[in-house]
Amino acid sequence: MNAMDLRSLEGSAYASRWEDGLLELFAGTALLLVGVAWLTPMAGLGGVAPVLLIPFWPLARRAVTEPRAGYVEFRADRKAKERKAHMNLVLLGVVAFVLGVAAYLVVSRDVVGRDGLIMMLVPALPGLLLALGAIVTGWMLGLSRWFLYAASLALLALMGVYFDAHPGVYMAAGGALVAASGLTMLVRFVRSHPLPDKAAP
């Protein structure tokens, strides 16, 4: 960054934390694993896979990102904003769970009839909720590319409904797409951020 844009300095410093593609790589891989697990008789394993990935994220950041992009501690107001973002994502998870239960009840009790629009969209619900999650993530972190992921996830979910595919298929496809984007970003990041020769004054 060579331009003296002091007003957006903090914002661009914060955004630079997400240029490594690790967020996409981990989120996409988690989604891919959930989708693949859903297609197998061990669908419950899908819920465990993202949790197992979580400890690897800080390790990867420490090993790949920090030596190349540096370490930064943001000020209290930014940390508070980040905490609020995490809380909102948890809240979204709760809403998704409630909607999932509601969808299950709608389907199992035959509330709207077999041919209704709601029944048609029920299989797309997991994908649409993930798209909502991607929108919230993009909005909270100020990363516009996440809106594109949201659009892709929603489109894949609707295509899944159209082609009568299992939700696990479009979830795995969406995960693969996000993970591939993350991997591309990671390769670009490593190439454009070589390890500095001199790391201390």
Partner 1 sequence: MSQVNGPVRPSDAGSGESDTRRSTQAGTAIDKLVHEPARLLLLACLYVVDAADFVFLLRQTGLTAGNVSSHVSKLEEAGYVNVEKGFVGKRPQTILRLTEQGRAAVRSYRDTMNQLLGSLED
Please select the residue that binds partner 1; options are 15, 16, 50, 119, rule is CB under 8 A. 16
Residue 83 touching partner 1 (CB under 8 A): no
Structural contact between residues 175 and 35, judged by C-beta atoms closer than 8 angstroms: yes
The residues in 40-69 that bind partner 1, with binding defined as CB under 8 A, are: 62, 66-69
Burial 1-36 (b: 16+ CB within 10 A, else e): eeeeeeeeeeeeebeebbbbbbbbbbbbbbbbbbbb
In the bound state with partner 1, the residue whose beta carbon lies nearer, of 75 and 114, is 75
What's the DSSP call for residue 54? T
- By CB under 8 A, residue 108 contacts partner 1: no
What contacts 147, CB < 8 A, 6 or more positions away? 134, 135, 138
Closest among 133, 172, 129, 178 to 152, alpha carbons compared: 178
Q: 160 with 170: CB under 8 angstroms?
A: yes
Residue 76 found at the interface with partner 1 (CB under 8 A) = yes
CB of 59 to partner 1, least distance (A): 11
**Given the rule CB under 8 A, which of 7-15, 20-28, 105-113, 149-157 is the region that contacts partner 1?**
7-15
Residue 93: its H or E element: helix 76-108
The continuous run of DSSP H or E covering 142 comes out as none
Q: How far is the CB of 23 from partner 1 (least distance, A)?
A: 18
Task: Closer to partner 1 by CB, 65 or 152: give it.
Answer: 65
At closest approach, how far in Å is the CB of 139 from partner 1? 21
Inter-residue contact 166 to 38 (CB < 8 Å): yes
- Number of residues forming the site for partner 1 (CB under 8 A): 28
Binders of partner 1 among residues 158 to 187 (CB under 8 A) are none
CB of 90 to partner 1, least distance (A): 25
Shortest reach from residue 16's CB to partner 1, in Å: 7
Provide the binding-site residues for partner 1, judged by CB under 8 A: 1-2, 4, 6, 9-10, 12-13, 16, 62, 66-76, 193, 196-201
